[in-house]
Chains A and B, each alone.
Chain A
Amino acid sequence: MSDTTPLAAQGAGIGRSGRVALWARGMRRALVPVLTVVAVLVAFWYLACIPMNAGAAVQQAARADIAVSPESAAERRQMGGLALALRNPGVAVAGAFGQERARLPAPHQVAAELWSGVAGQSVTSNRSLVYHAWVTLSATLLGFVFGTGLGIALAVGIVHSRVMDMSVMPWAIVSQTVPIIAIAPMIIVVLYSVGIQGIVPKAIISAYLSFFPVVVGMVKGLRSPDAMQLDLLSTYGASARQVFFKLRLPASMPYLFASLKIGIAASLVGAIVGELPTGASAGLGARLLAGSYYGQTEQIWAALLAATVLAAACVGALGAVERVLLGRMGMRT
């Protein structure tokens, strides 16, 4: 069936409902290009492995007494990876995809490391990526809840009080031009010195990163009802409280969810960065740091991929809640 067949055409609905057909059509429109782009990226990754790992591959070959093009090691060290790969194509390609501690591990190596980290260890072991992901995720979620709560409270204040609007809003904007990450190490050390440690300092950094999108989105959302709607409620004699709960709050939901999705991604970044400066022993950030200290590139890439999956899962979960909630409220799904 071609893309242009109308859903109502004779026989178009046979075997599947219109909803499924729509979904399939949408998937075909989006899926093929997306898969193509992803496939090109992976192919590029494999290709890039050859020059990136050429130095190490050629050196190994030289140690194993295989003839390589510039014979002296000093000369080889001077050359770039691409030039080396071009002069020793066979050796470079043969050694590109299976090295330990490769400069750029091949995708299948990363996938293997990820698989062994997720499925190969018991969940409580500190070599398990599930365990590290949970440590990071718990801080992310706690910080996200703090940040969202603070953001919504500030937004309600800003919408209802002109003083707060004029005095707080500019500083909320300035606060985001400050690279807050810079404060992360200090927050952790200072809180540690007063006896607070573990999840809370990371959550505070997460909260700081996630509150701003929520403030901006919520202010926009709470102000989104137009004058006609507000007038209608005032003709009903509605109090400010009723206007808030029956008009402003429901009207702000689409804006809130758009902000929440940005907020949770920011909050995950905050939790990961929060693990970097103190040399935390658990969490995806700690895995990144340990990997970079010991040159375990596969471990870094696996932690990175795990963080990716985590971010996608969080955003996806929020999207699902959004669809259900807005659907129930009779808004566009």
Chain B
Amino acid sequence: MLLVSLALVLWAGAWWMNARLATGPARDSAAVRAAVPLIFGATLLALWELGVRGLDVPMVILPAPSVIAATFAGRLPTLWEDFVQTFLKGALSGYVIGCAAAVAVAIVADRFAFLRRGLLPVGNFMAALPIVGTAPILVMWFGFDWQSKAAVVVVMVFFPMLVNTVAGLADTGSMQRDLMRTYGAGYLQTLVKLRLPAAMPFIFNGLKICTTLALIGAIVAEFFGSPIRGVGFRISTSVGQLALDMVWAEIAVAAIAGTLFYGAIAALEKRVTFWHPSHRS
């Protein structure tokens, strides 16, 4: 009971501190901007730890963060092996192939108005579909190893990326295009110097959406069959053994990988589209 009330006191204290920080004199400084979410996250973790210990929740149902951290540290080689299998081999290769293919198709579709009018509604429709459902079929076709996971990722990222790129390529004003025409620029020059750069904010939007989709695709595809390594494989077998600390450790791996992946794309976006209003502030 003591631990639970301690948790409540901690929660109230942290919230009060955040409220002071967020409305105080230094409210717009970079340090406060970083500190407030960090304090919130740390409080959640502390609440979890104290709550689990205080209420005597069985380990089988919800392991405490400290236990998960211990598992994480103790089984680092296994986790790394799973990370390489799922993320580097499955998700990343599929992501690169899928996004490159989508951009290429988008450029072709953009050249021919008929194709664009036909492909865009179909692409929009496909982007809303439960594409993960194709995972069993692709696993059947490409075998159990990472190739089938990459194939699932390709199918998953293709349509969101296509829709975004086509929208981006259409995002130039008639004034800008007229200027290119007065320069005597041909189709290819206009594409490379004006329309592709102008499409970059949209392309990066698609790339960022696809980072999450890629990880989801690779993990879900492993539920349908995989060699004896991989994040999805480890999660489904560990759940079967009720080794939930291992499951949470794998989730932490997936979360870190996903966040870093997203962060990397976002950092790249900042460098490439430095001219966009949302980055100039």
Same complex = yes
Closest to B122 in A: A37
Residue A19 at the B interface, CB < 8 A? Answer: no
Max chain A C-beta neighbours (<10 A), residue from B23, B122, B133: B133
Are B251 and A183 in touch, CB under 8 angstroms? Answer: yes
Q: Which residues of A contact B39 (CB under 8 A)?
A: 167
B66 at the interface (CB under 8 A from A): no
B259 located at the interface, meaning its Cβ lies under 8 Å from any Cβ of chain A in the complex: yes
- Report the Cα distance A186→B246, complex, angstroms: 11
- List which B215-274 residues lie within 8 A (CB) of chain A: 215-216, 219-220, 223-225, 231-232, 235-236, 239, 242, 244, 247-248, 250-251, 254-255, 258-259, 261-262
Q: How far is the CA of A176 from the CA of B211 in the complex (A)?
A: 10
A193 touches B60 (CB 8 A): yes
B2-36 CB mask vs A (1 if < 8 Å, else 0) is 00000000000001001100110001000011001
Distance between B229 CB and nearest chain A CB, rounded to angstroms: 15
B129-148 contact mask (Cβ, 8 Å, vs A): 1 or 0: 11011101101110000000
Q: Are B219 and A179 in contact (CB under 8 A)?
A: yes
Known contacts: A190-B62, A292-B140, A311-B130. The answer to whether A181 contacts B216 by CB under 8 A is yes
Residues of B within 8 A of A256 (CB): none
Contact of B36 among A104, A163, A190, A291 (CB under 8 A): A163
Q: Which of B105-120 contact A (CB under 8 A)?
A: 114-119
Asked if A178 and B258 make an inter-chain contact with CB atoms under 8 angstroms apart, the answer reads yes
A292–B138 CA distance with the chains assembled, in angstroms: 10
In the complex the two chains form, is B139's CB within 8 Å of A265's CB?
Answer: no
In this assembly, does A119 line the interface, its C-beta being within 8 Å of a C-beta of chain B? no
Q: Is the CB of A193 within 8 A of B130?
A: no
A176's partner among B134, B139, B212 (CB-CB below 8 A) is B212
Q: Does A44 contact B (CB under 8 A)?
A: no
Q: Which of A131-187 contact B (CB under 8 A)?
A: 162-163, 165-171, 174, 176-183, 185-186
> Once the chains are docked, how many angstroms separate the CA of A144 from the CA of B258?
24
Question: Is A91's beta carbon under 8 Å from chain B?
Answer: no
A289 touches B22 (CB 8 A): no
Q: Which residues of A contact B244 (CB under 8 A)?
A: 186, 190
- CB-CB under 8 A from B216, the residues of chain A are 179-181
**Considering the chains assembled together, what is the distance between the CA atoms of A162 and B36 in angstroms?**
11
Q: Does A29 contact B (CB under 8 A)?
A: yes
A104 and B134 alpha carbons, distance in the complex (Å) = 12
| Chain A residues, CB < 8 A from B115 | 33, 37
Choose among B18, B41, B250 the residue that contacts A163 (Cβ–Cβ < 8 A): B18
Give the distance to chain B from A167, nearest Cβ to Cβ, in Å: 4
Contact present for A179 and B133 (CB under 8 Å): no
Could you say which residues of chain B place their CB within 8 Å of the CB of A49?
Answer: none
B125 beta carbon closer than 8 Å to chain A: yes
Q: How far is the CA of A216 from the CA of B184 in the complex (A)?
A: 43
**A215: interface (CB < 8 Å):** no
State whether B118 touches A103 (Cβ < 8 A): no
Kindly list chain B residues whose C-beta atoms are within 8 Å of the C-beta of A183: 251
User: Does the CB pair B239–A163 fall under 8 Å?
Assistant: no
Mark out the residues of chain A between 254 and 295 whose CB falls within 8 Å of any chain B CB in the assembled complex: 261-262, 265, 268-269, 272-273, 276-277, 284-285, 288-289, 291-292, 295
Task: Decide: B254 and A178 in contact? CB cutoff 8 A.
Answer: yes
- Given A177-B255, A308-B129, is A34 in contact with B224 using a C-beta cutoff of 8 Å? no
Instruction: State the CA gap A289–B258 with chains docked (Å).
Output: 26
* Closest A residue, CB atoms, query B131: A269
A167-B39, A177-B212, A182-B250 are known contacts. Are A301 and B137 too (CB-CB below 8 A)?
yes
Complex contact A163–B15 (CB within 8 A): yes
Whether a CB of chain B sits under 8 angstroms from the CB of A30 is yes
Query: In the complex, what's the smallest C-beta–C-beta distance from A60 to chain B, in angstroms?
Result: 19
Whether A33 pairs with B114 at a CB distance below 8 angstroms is yes
B residues less than 8 Å from A169 (CB atoms): 37
Bound Cα distance A277, B222 (Å): 11
Q: What are the residues of chain B within 8 A of A277 when measuring CB–CB?
A: 223, 236, 239
Q: Least Cβ distance of A292 to chain B in Å?
A: 3
Contact with A along B158-190 (1 / 0, CB 8 A): 000000000000000000000000000000000
Contacts of A269 in B (CB 8 A): 130, 132
Q: Is the CB of B236 within 8 A of A273?
A: no
Q: Is B128 touching A265 in the complex (CB atoms < 8 A)?
A: yes
Question: Please, how many angstroms separate the alpha-carbon atoms of A304 and B15 in the complex?
Answer: 46
A171 and B247 contact, CB distance less than 8 A:
no
Chain B residues near A210: list those with CB within 8 A.
none
Contact of B136 among A32, A193, A288 (CB under 8 A): A288
**Quick one: given A37-B118, A300-B137, are A177 and B259 in contact (CB under 8 Å)?**
yes
Partner of A194, one of B32, B61, B250, B255: B61
Residue A4 at the chain B interface, CB threshold 8 Å:
no
Distance of B145 from chain A, by nearest CB (Å)? 16
**Across-interface contacts of B259 in A (CB, < 8 A):** 174, 177-178
Residue of B nearest to A276 (CB): B223
Nearest A residue to B124 via CB reads: A315
Chain A: minimal CB distance from B275 (Å): 23
Q: How far is the CB of B165 from chain A (nearest CB, A)?
A: 17
* Closest 5 pairs (CB-CB, A-B): A33-B118, A292-B136, A37-B118, A167-B40, A177-B258
Extra pairs beyond A34-B118, A162-B22, A179-B215 (18, CB < 8 Å)? A30-B117, A37-B122, A41-B122, A52-B141, A103-B141, A162-B23, A163-B18, A163-B22, A167-B18, A167-B22, A176-B212, A179-B254, A182-B250, A186-B235, A261-B128, A268-B130, A288-B136, A311-B128
